[in-house]
Chains A and B, each alone.
Chain A
Amino acid sequence: AQSVTQPDIHITVSEGASLELRCNYSYGATPYLFWYVQSPGQGLQLLLKYFSGDTLVQGIKGFEAEFKRSQSSFNLRKPSVHWSDAAEYFCAVAFSGAGSYQLTFGKGTKLSVIP
């Protein structure tokens, strides 16, 4: 069965430090890949997506992610974290189309930012 793994449940970084959030998936083919962010009491906001083409994708709020087929990974990065980035981050994959209802989510990584 398809699955998405976010190995880090909780990460704490200092403001201004770099950030990398890990995401691995298991599936035989290349999926459609997404990162969403959820602030407390709010829904999910799409940060970025990968469908095809350049494996390094840029998103909103200064985030980027790199798809590595050999590692089945789609890690999220930001060179300098801001206090407002504190939130929960979810990696998601769709295996049969970009708008597919069969989005599978990881369990999320909670990011705390130290001022």
Chain B
Amino acid sequence: GAGVSQSPSNKVTEKGKDVELRCDPISGHTALYWYRQRLGQGLEFLIYFQGNSAPDKSGLPSDRFSAERTGESVSTLTIQRTQQEDSAVYLCASSDYDQPQHFGDGTRLSIL
């Protein structure tokens, strides 16, 4: 597709369960970003991948959060032992080097 694709679009799960969120970046984009958007808030940076370099994980809020990316393709964000405060929209973006970021439509995560 032409844009950043995220799945699922919505996810409802029980507290304590693990969840996996997926991001398909724009083909050819070397950089991939994950953000969290809590209700009424701006975007919080979580993690950044650039090519084959080690990712910048400085924005991950706890060790329950992790992300992987295979080469310059798909990325998955995993949240283990989910808590209610993890409820948010998780946005993925990709960019070509030194170009503005293009965003997906996000995954709305609700923790019951």
Check A99/B42 contact, CB under 8 A, given A43-B4, A43-B106. no
A22 within 8 A of B: no
Interface bracket on B: 20 to 34
A95 within 8 A of B: no
| CB contact list, B54-112 vs A, under 8 A | 56, 91, 93, 95-106, 108
Q: Give which listed residue, B31, B42, B95, B105, contacts A105 with CB less than 8 A.
A: B42
- Residues on A with beta carbons closer than 8 Å to the beta carbon of B12: none
- Residues on B with beta carbons closer than 8 Å to the beta carbon of A4: 42
- Residues on B with beta carbons closer than 8 Å to the beta carbon of A45: 103
Quote the shortest CB–CB distance from A37 to chain B (angstroms): 11
Decide if B98 touches A97 in the complex (CB within 8 Å): yes
Q: Give which listed residue, A34, A42, A106, contacts B100 with CB less than 8 A.
A: A34
